[in-house]
Amino acid sequence: MATKPRVKIPDSVTAGEVITVKALLRHAMETGERRNGEGNPIARDIINRFEARFDGAIVFAVDLNPGIAANPFLEFTARIDRAGTFRLTWTDDGGEVTEFRHAISVSP
Amino acid sequence: MKAISRRAFATLMGLGTASVLVPPGVLGQATPRVVVIGGGAGGATAARHLARDGGGAIEVTLVQDSPRYTSCFFSNLHVGEVRDFDSITHDYDALAAEDGLTLVIDRAVGIDRVARTVALAGGDVLPYDRLVLSPGIDLIHESVPGYSESAAERAPHAWQGGAQTARLKSALDALENGRNIVMVAPPNPYRCPPGPYERASMMAHVLTSRGFTDSTITILDTKSAFSKQALFSAGWRTHYPGMIEWLPPDVHGGILEVDAAAGTVETDLDTFEGALLNIIPAQRAGAIAVDAGLADDSGFCPVVATSMRSTLDENIFVIGDASIAGAMPKSAYAANSQAKVAARNVRVDLLGARDVAATYANICWSLISPDNGVKVGAQYRPGEDGTITSVSSFLSEADESDATRAATYRESVGWYDAIIADMLG
């Protein structure tokens, strides 16, 4: 079960500026390899896909695998030529999607 | 209380052999005087061992600012409801009754290194032949933007035992389910390297035992790695799944502002809200050592690895958290170990006692959950580079049985009783 993501994206940039996007999601990233106190396996539950779209077009995407630490933190850069909206999505093994949207304005 | 010492007896009898035992600098003077500042793990140990091993030939005065001592070590176990407050609070009655030891409850406010005197807040001035300085740490509140001594009343550091420990426990008791805890962990070097992470474990234990599974603990760290990290991370997964989140600087991007009243910590990444803020700032040697010019640019006091003698004043020994003890961490165990080396070297100076090569030891135990103890430790010697160097070390393993972890915890309880007895009698 995921909680509110913490994301850093600028509100406004100049056209052509390269920005850094930082995105942290609190998630246990349960590998499926561990066992509980009774020796029974703990079911795998990870974020398996992250996508960042800008006005619908993918600018950055990651397939995540078991073994990635809890609370995955992703950082990427993107060149912003025009105003638009970032939509970030995290998809977990249960199909639950956590979404974050952020509009960026552009000055010439 | 004061019996005639062997040395005094020899002097009374006019025995020339006394000069063999006493270095020239001390001849013709009354009993040599040692002042010890600080009644914690370093100072109390040094004072007690000097009084006992000095056999009455040294006048030891211990200056301690409070008549009660609440240990900072094991204070996380109080926060975690494993120990009650009284069990980590002690008096100085037995120590004060030691032959050759005078306990002064007052605050040392200044050292005159030329006159070799210590000024006390109450107005007294204590002369010394050797000074053992064990002032512990001072917190550099302003190292965390927005944090201050007054903010620490609302957002406790609880990095000194006593009132601050009680304040953190009260804040934890007042926390409601679903409200969060935000911690800021300090940069190296600092007192008790695994302490912030044991504290997170103990607070998570309390939240879990109360059924507060909607609450979270976020550790905003100023470091990229920490002591026993793999052991803590595995323990958190097992005992408090999803509850504790550790964020290093390359994730949060830097701590920009703490607002104790609002209960927020702003970082470059985002603003974190906590009904309980536990802010542990950077640290330096206690002010009395810094004010006396005994610290270097690091804020801590350089010492000679073979003796714990200040490199800046041959009449002063600095022990415990205030010292720069090479590879040794700042811990009560280390302070106790250093105190014995310093005490012996004081006796070498003043009584011509036999010099023995210094060895040091440390163990830091941490409790992840009740009966789940882990430890890291080492033996140390003066190294060829002139710093205290680890010669062998050990660390709890990742996949230890519950029985081993319970035994490690019991060992730590035994150590607590032993060090308190070694300090306070």
Alpha carbon distance B59, B353 (integer Å)? 16
Interchain pair A73, B251: CB under 8 A? yes
Interchain pair B247, A24: CB under 8 A? yes
Q: Are residues B277 and B290 in the same domain?
A: no
Interchain pair B269, A71: CB under 8 A? no
Q: Are residues B33 and B108 in the same domain?
A: yes
What is the pLDDT confidence band of residue A108, given thresholds at 50, 70 and 90?
A: confident
Tell me whether residue B362 is in a domain: no
Tell me whether residue B154 is in a domain: yes
- Between chain A and chain B, the number of residue pairs with CB atoms below 8 A apart is 32
Q: Are residues B255 and B205 in the same domain?
A: yes
Task: State if pTM tops 0.90.
Answer: yes
What is the pLDDT confidence band of residue A36, given thresholds at 50, 70 and 90?
A: confident
Interface of B with A in 247-286 (CB under 8 A): 247, 251, 253, 268-270
What is the pLDDT confidence band of residue B424, given thresholds at 50, 70 and 90?
A: very high
Q: Are residues B332 and B233 in the same domain?
A: no
Tell me whether residue B402 is in a domain: no
pLDDT at A2 over 60: no
Q: Are residues B225 and B155 in the same domain?
A: yes
Interchain pair A28, B237: CB under 8 A? yes
* Chain B residues near residue A70 by CB distance under 8 angstroms: 237, 242, 245
Q: Are residues B15 and B70 in the same domain?
A: yes
User: Which residue is closest to B251 within chain A, CA to CA?
Assistant: A73
Q: Are residues B227 and B266 in the same domain?
A: yes
Q: Which of residues B223, B258, B282 is at a domain's end?
A: B282
Interchain pair B237, A70: CB under 8 A? yes
Tell me whether residue B73 is in a domain: yes
Q: Which of residues B355, B384, B411 is at a domain's end?
A: B355
Fold of A6-107: Immunoglobulin-like (2.60.40)
Q: Which residue has the higher pLDDT, B173 or A67?
A: B173
What is the pLDDT confidence band of residue B29, given thresholds at 50, 70 and 90?
A: low
Interchain pair A34, B251: CB under 8 A? no
Q: Total structural domains in chain B? A: 2
Tell me whether residue B188 is in a domain: yes
Q: Are residues B149 and B244 in the same domain?
A: yes
* Chain A residues near residue B246 by CB distance under 8 angstroms: 71
What is the pLDDT confidence band of residue B135, given thresholds at 50, 70 and 90?
A: very high
Query: What SS3 string covers chain B?
Result: CCCCCHHHHHHHCCCCCHHHHCCHHHCCCCCCEEEEECCCCCHHHHHHHHHHHCCCCCEEEEEECCCEEECCCCHHHHHCCCCCHHHHEEECHHHHCCCCEEEEECCEEEEECCCCEEEECCCCEEECCEEEECCCEEEEHHHCCCCCCCHHHHCCCCCCCCHHHHHHHHHHHHCCCCCCEEEEECCCCCECCCHHHHHHHHHHHHHHHCCCCCCCEEEEECCCCCCCHHHHHHHHHHHCCCCEEEECHHHHCCEEEEECCCCEEEECCCEEECCEEEECCEEEECHHHHHCCCCCCCCCEEECCCCCEECCCCCEEECHHHEECCCCCECHHHHHHHHHHHHHHHHHHHHCCCCCCCCEEEEEEEEEECCEEEEEEEEEEECCCCCEEEEEEEECCCCCCHHHHHHHHHHHHHHHHHHHHHHHC
Q: Tens of pLDDT along B137-191?
A: 999 999 999 999 999 999 999 999 999 999 999 999 999 999 999 999 999 999 9
CATH of the domain at B309: 3.50.50.60
* Chain A residues near residue B268 by CB distance under 8 angstroms: 8
Q: How far is B416 from chain A (nearest CA, A)?
A: 30
Q: Tens of pLDDT along B93-103?
A: 999 999 999 99
Q: Are residues B175 and B267 in the same domain?
A: yes
Q: Are B110 and B287 in contact (CB under 8 A)?
A: no
> Would you kindly state where each structural domain of chain A is located, as residue ranges?
6-107
Q: Which structural domain, as residue segments, surrounds residue B93?
A: 6-136+286-355
What is the pLDDT confidence band of residue B20, given thresholds at 50, 70 and 90?
A: very low
Q: Which of residues B239, B267, B282 is at a domain's end?
A: B282
Q: Are residues B278 and B291 in the same domain?
A: no
Q: Are residues B273 and B292 in the same domain?
A: no
Interface of B with A in 205-244 (CB under 8 A): 216, 237, 241-242
Interchain pair A28, B270: CB under 8 A? no
Tell me whether residue B366 is in a domain: no
What is the pLDDT confidence band of residue B28, given thresholds at 50, 70 and 90?
A: low
Give this complex's ipTM. Answer: 0.89
Q: Tens of pLDDT along B199-218?
A: 999 999 999 999 999 999 99
